[in-house]
């Protein structure tokens, strides 16, 4: 980055203006805030150089050929380390937490949510490894992602939770207990055999590694919901179909098929039965704020293109001279700001939990071990041992409380519903106001409108997000259950 | 559950709706996706011929001119039924019929090719005039049309053919909605020279009919969204029950019913009020209401379907794309509403 980088200056001014809370944080943690600003700056540059020139044509191309995937745009993101943003520093990642990723998502989605979601879905695929404290996979898989990124080779990840008959059900413990599932895993010597289908999996057709959550016993899905790490080359794994979507086309949504797919024991993330409680709930507490930022970014993009339209008069008076347009712009701006503050607050509250764990003494101590030790086969065996896994769970439970992380889940769910609704409202209002006017502005706003609808559906529908707010923050019927080191059963502690 | 409009139909209207429904089921439903994705594949022309055999391409034209002489409300009933299958195709029928009606109003003899289904005509609305040049941003049916009529502000009716000198047609690449109508932008230089007659004071009526027609399209989309969502909600099991048994889903479906009922009533009132000057404000109100409710219904239709609603295979997302275009064509709802309440002098 050149000295006196004007883009950095512009972005710093904008970010500090858009997030007033960062000004206070900056006084205490200037380097942290500067790292956030630098990340947003990189996203802005990526938008200018790569995403904006490609977005419309790519959207059009993928409508015709939905199997196409823009690897060139992924490779262009490697120089900015977009694939490592969420990977801990101890395994060569950037070490950004939810706030950083959410800011990145808003910036990228203000140009193209489809392209941005390739990186977003990748981070979602990383999150199960983070929240389960799967140190063995940190050293192997996450280090591989970060290292190959530096070498110019993208390794993508994905998370597979939704099943054809279970969308909402797979994201909420009370519902999962009653779900009619079609996929399951069976224990066999040395590992598990997976059978069934997952659907609508973002990055599913292009990911090297996919976290797959499914039940061991479909009659007791909540108690046996377990997370597995599946490599695309594993026998029995295939991608029979890539969906044709209304929007966010650059990021493929795929159906995944598992036919007697053998997954070794060491690819279980955490313990059997931890997949939903706390696994999926921790993932959602982490991921819904960045998804809220996706909605916010789409809304911002629609607003910015609408503003361009409003300022462009086709001879005579420009639309912005009309009071109705001025009021609409003010309304849009207000809603974008409120959505932004909601996701920022949610991301802060999650980082206050996971951040404490990552900056805690035990994790720092592990990080201080020489890399040769941490990556040794012996250490891998230690990481994969039951005692080590329970130790990691114990560290998590010692540093954060169920109340804190449940509150983070409520905040992120609230923010996600607000972000999705804001994306729809702003893009819809913009199109409505533009009437039948054609032109470049309209083409962009139409794309934002199509992209926006998905933000009300994925990562739990907005209806489920609201139910989560009710259950976790109003009647206390939903808690994220952390597993203390002492006092839990032998790996089947889901409630 | 039967919607009030359907209960109130007289025998003749009931037969009309039934025959158009049969046409939709046999010709449109199976081709709707192709019409949306590949409108230039020939699928439109094939359906057009079938529509002509049913009299739908000359529905509004007087019987003396070789048409069906259908009243605007009956025509709207037919459009709603077609739009349940494909709103873009219904939009083609609408602008074609209005163009023929306008030509008739301007004392132009009907062209047999146009009334018989061999060729299509369309209508540009609104037309922006400046320095003798007429311009229309979004003209449904312009691509592939044999002719286009432009009602000018002063009451004159201009008729142009693609390819003629001074006529520029710019295709709209991949519009989000109403794709089957194959829209394009139009610029006509020296439009005054192409005037073929005068609308004889029927310009307001023409505009009212256009607005009611779009309202009818929107209601067709809303009906499709409601029926699809209700059917899916009865089959989809989630959270321990069929989702139609969840209050939130029922409220979404009920909201669609409220919107359709209100839209139907408003359309019927405006279309049967009679008298051009009287019904234009009612037509504006009906159009704004129906389109707003259709956008809402189609959004909820997708939401009830969850991830499936967002995928093209399930036929829900196209309803939203079309409804959104209906909402802002021919003008934004705010512009329609501002014409309902005039400023003080």
Cβ-based contacts under 8 A for chains A and B: 103
Asked if B324 and A428 come within 8 Å (Cβ–Cβ), the reply is yes
Q: Are residues B133 and B219 in the same domain?
A: no
User: Does the complex come out with an ipTM higher than 0.90?
Assistant: yes
Classify residue A56 by burial, with Cβ atoms within 10 Å: 0-12, 13-18, 19+: middle
Q: Are residues B136 and B170 in the same domain?
A: yes
Which of B129, B332, B339 is the best residue to mutate to test the A interface, defined by the most A CB atoms within 10 Å of its own CB?
B332
- The CATH H-level superfamily of A275-473 is Butyryl-CoA Dehydrogenase, subunit A, domain 3 (1.20.140.10)
Q: Which of B165, B198, B231 is the last residue of a domain?
A: B198
Provide the residue ranges of all domains of chain A, joining segments of one domain with +: 6-155, 159-269, 275-473
pLDDT exceeds cutoff 80 at B275? no
Interface of B with A in 188-227 (CB under 8 A): none
Q: Are residues B190 and B271 in the same domain?
A: no
pLDDT along chain A (495 residues), means of 10: 86 97 96 97 98 98 94 98 96 95 98 98 96 93 97 98 95 94 96 98 98 96 97 98 97 98 96 92 96 98 98 84 97 98 97 86 87 90 90 88 95 98 98 94 98 97 96 94 63 38
DSSP A329-391: HHHHHHHHHHHHHHHHHHHHHHHHHHHHHHTSHHHHHHHHS-HHHHTSHHHHHHHHSHHHHHH
pLDDT band, very low/low/confident/very high, at B302 (cuts 50, 70, 90): very high
Q: How many CB atoms lie within 10 A of CB A290?
A: 34
CA-CA distance, A436 to B195, in Å (whole number)?
25
Q: What is the number of structural domains in chain B?
A: 3
Give yes or no on whether A6-155 and A159-269 have one common fold.
no
pLDDT exceeds cutoff 80 at B155? yes
Nearest CA in chain B to A456: B303
What's residue B12's pLDDT? 96
Query: Is the Cβ of B317 closer than 8 Å to some Cβ of chain A?
Result: yes
What's residue A363's pLDDT? 85
Q: Are residues B210 and B324 in the same domain?
A: yes
Tell me the β-bridge partners of B133. B130
Q: Are residues B134 and B17 in the same domain?
A: no
Nearest CA in chain B to A324: B334
Query: Is the Cβ of A428 closer than 8 Å to some Cβ of chain B?
Result: yes
What's residue A315's pLDDT? 64
pLDDT exceeds cutoff 70 at B276? no
Q: Are residues B131 and B252 in the same domain?
A: no
Q: Which of B164, B198, B232 is the last residue of a domain?
A: B198
Query: Is the Cβ of A65 closer than 8 Å to some Cβ of chain B?
Result: no
Q: Are residues B126 and B114 in the same domain?
A: no
- Which of B215, B325, B332 is CA-nearest to residue A435? B332
Separation in Å, CA of B41 to nearest CA in chain A: 15
What's residue A367's pLDDT? 85
Give φ, ψ of B45 to 5 degrees: -60, -40
Q: Which domain holds residue B284?
A: 203-338
CA-CA distance, A104 to B258, in Å (whole number)?
41
What's residue A495's pLDDT? 35
CA-CA distance, A81 to A147, in Å (whole number)?
10
Assigned domain for B343 exists: no
Distances, alpha carbon A229 to alpha carbons A93, A205, A299, in Å: 19, 15, 34
CATH number at residue B260: 1.20.140.10
**What pLDDT, in 10s, does the model give residues B215-261?**
999 999 999 999 999 999 999 999 999 999 999 999 999 999 999 99
What's residue B279's pLDDT? 80
DSSP B258-286: HHHHHHHHHHHHHHHS-SHHHHHHHHHHH
Q: Are residues B225 and B304 in the same domain?
A: yes
Q: Are residues B108 and B150 in the same domain?
A: no
| Among the partner residues B303, B324, B328, nearest to A461 by beta-carbon distance | B303
Whole-number CA gyration radius for chain B: 20
CATH number at residue B97: 1.10.540.10
Asked if A243 and B248 come within 8 Å (Cβ–Cβ), the reply is no
- Please say whether the structural domain A6-155 has been given the CATH code 1.10.540.10: yes
| Among the partner residues B185, B239, B327, nearest to A169 by beta-carbon distance | B239
Query: Is the Cβ of A315 closer than 8 Å to some Cβ of chain B?
Result: yes
Name every chain A residue with its beta carbon within 8 A of the beta carbon of B333: 432
Q: Are residues B24 and B108 in the same domain?
A: yes
CATH number at residue B146: 2.40.110.10
| Token pair recorded at residue A268 | 């279980």
Q: Are residues B127 and B244 in the same domain?
A: no
Q: Are residues B189 and B106 in the same domain?
A: no
pLDDT exceeds cutoff 50 at B118? yes
CATH of domain A159-269: 2.40.110.10
What's residue A123's pLDDT? 98
What's residue A154's pLDDT? 98
Name every chain A residue with its beta carbon within 8 A of the beta carbon of B311: 200, 243-246, 253
Asked if B332 and A315 come within 8 Å (Cβ–Cβ), the reply is no
């Amino acid at each position: 980055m050149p000295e006196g980088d004007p883009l950095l200056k512009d972005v710093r001014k904008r970010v500090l203006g858009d997030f007033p809370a960062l000004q206070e944080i900056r006084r205490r943690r200037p380097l942290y805030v500067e790292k956030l600003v630098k990340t947003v700056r990189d996203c802005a540059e990526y938008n200018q150089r790569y995403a904006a020139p490609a977005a419309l044509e790519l959207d059009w191309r993928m409508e015709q050929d939905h199997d196409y995937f823009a690897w060139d745009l992924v490779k262009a993101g490697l120089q900015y380390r977009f694939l490592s943003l969420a990977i801990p520093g101890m395994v060569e990642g950037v070490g950004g937490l939810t706030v950083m990723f959410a800011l990145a998502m808003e910036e990228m989605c203000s140009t193209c949510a489809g392209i941005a979601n390739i990186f977003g879905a990748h981070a979602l695929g990383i999150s199960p490894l983070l929240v389960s404290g799967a140190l063995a996979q940190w050293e192997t898989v996450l280090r591989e992602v970060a290292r190959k990124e530096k070498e110019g080779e993208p390794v993508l990840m994905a998370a597979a939770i939704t099943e054809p008959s279970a969308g909402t059900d797979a994201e909420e413990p009370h519902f999962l207990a009653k779900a009619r599932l079609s996929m399951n895993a069976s224990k066999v010597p040395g590992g598990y055999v997976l059978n069934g289908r997952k659907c609508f999996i973002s990055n599913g057709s292009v990911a090297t590694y996919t976290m797959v959550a499914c039940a061991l016993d479909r009659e007791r899905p909540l108690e046996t919901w377990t997370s597995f790490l599946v490599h695309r080359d594993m026998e029995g794994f295939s991608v029979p179909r890539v969906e044709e979507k209304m929007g966010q086309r650059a990021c493929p949504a795929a159906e995944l098929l598992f036919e007697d797919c053998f997954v070794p024991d060491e690819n279980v993330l955490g313990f059997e039965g931890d997949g939903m409680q706390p696994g999926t709930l921790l993932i959602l507490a982490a991921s819904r704020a960045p998804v809220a930022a996706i909605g916010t970014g789409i809304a911002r993009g629609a607003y910015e293109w609408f503003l361009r339209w409003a300022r462009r008069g086709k001879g005579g008076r420009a639309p912005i001279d009309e009071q109705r347009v001025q009021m609409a712009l003010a309304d849009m701006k207000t809603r974008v700001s409120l959505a932004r503050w909601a996701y920022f607050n949610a991301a802060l509250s999650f980082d206050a939990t996971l951040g404490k764990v990552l900056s805690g003494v035990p994790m720092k101590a592990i990080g201080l071990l020489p890399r040769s030790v941490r990556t040794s086969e012996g250490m891998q065996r230690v990481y994969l041992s039951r005692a080590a896994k329970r130790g990691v769970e114990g560290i998590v439970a010692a540093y954060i409380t169920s109340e804190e992380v449940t509150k983070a889940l409520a905040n992120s769910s609230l923010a996600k519903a607000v972000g999705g609704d804001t994306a729809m409202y702003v893009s819809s209002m913009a199109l409505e106001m533009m009437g039948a006017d054609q032109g470049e502005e309209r083409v962009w706003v139409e794309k934002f409108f199509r992209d926006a609808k998905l933000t009300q559906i994925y990562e739990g529908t907005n209806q489920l997000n609201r139910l989560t707010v009710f259950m976790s923050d109003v009647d206390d019927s939903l808690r994220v259950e952390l597993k203390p080191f002492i006092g839990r059963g032998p790996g089947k502690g889901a409630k | 559950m039967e919607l009030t409009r359907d209960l109130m139909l007289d025998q003749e209207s009931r037969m009309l709706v039934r025959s158009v429904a049969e046409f939709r089921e046999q010709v449109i439903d199976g081709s709707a996706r192709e019409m949306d994705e590949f409108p230039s594949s020939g699928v439109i022309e094939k359906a057009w011929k079938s529509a002509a055999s049913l009299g739908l391409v000359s529905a509004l034209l007087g019987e003396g001119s070789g048409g069906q002489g259908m009243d605007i409300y009956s025509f709207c009933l037919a459009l709603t039924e077609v739009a349940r299958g494909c709103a873009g195709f219904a939009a083609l029928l609408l602008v074609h019929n209005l163009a023929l009606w306008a030509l008739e109003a301007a004392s132009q003899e009907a062209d047999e090719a146009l009334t018989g289904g061999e060729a299509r005509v369309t209508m540009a609305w609104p037309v922006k005039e400046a320095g003798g040049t007429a311009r229309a941003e979004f003209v449904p049916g312009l691509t592939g049309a044999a002719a286009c009529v432009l009602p000018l502000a002063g009451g004159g009716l201009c008729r142009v053919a693609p390819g003629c000198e001074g006529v520029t047609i710019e295709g709209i690449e991949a519009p989000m909605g109403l794709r089957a109508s194959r829209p394009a932008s139009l610029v006509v230089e020296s439009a005054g020279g192409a005037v073929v007659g005068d609308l004889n004071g029927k310009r307001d009526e023409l505009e009212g009919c256009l607005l009611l027609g779009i309202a009818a399209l929107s209601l067709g989309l809303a009906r499709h969204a409601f029926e699809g969502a209700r059917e899916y909600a009865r089959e989809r099991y989630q959270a321990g029950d069929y989702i139609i048994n969840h209050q939130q889903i029922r409220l979404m479906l009920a909201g669609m019913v409220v919107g359709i009922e209100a839209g139907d009533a408003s359309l019927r009132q405006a279309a049967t009020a009679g008298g051009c000057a009287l019904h234009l404000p009612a037509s504006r109100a009906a159009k704004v209401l129906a389109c707003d409710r259709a956008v809402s219904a189609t959004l909820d239709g997708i939401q009830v379907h969850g991830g499936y609603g967002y995928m093209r295979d399930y036929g829900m997302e196209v309803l939203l794309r079309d409804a959104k275009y209906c909402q802002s064509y021919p003008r934004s709802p705010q512009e329609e509403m501002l014409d309902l309440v005039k400023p003080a002098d």
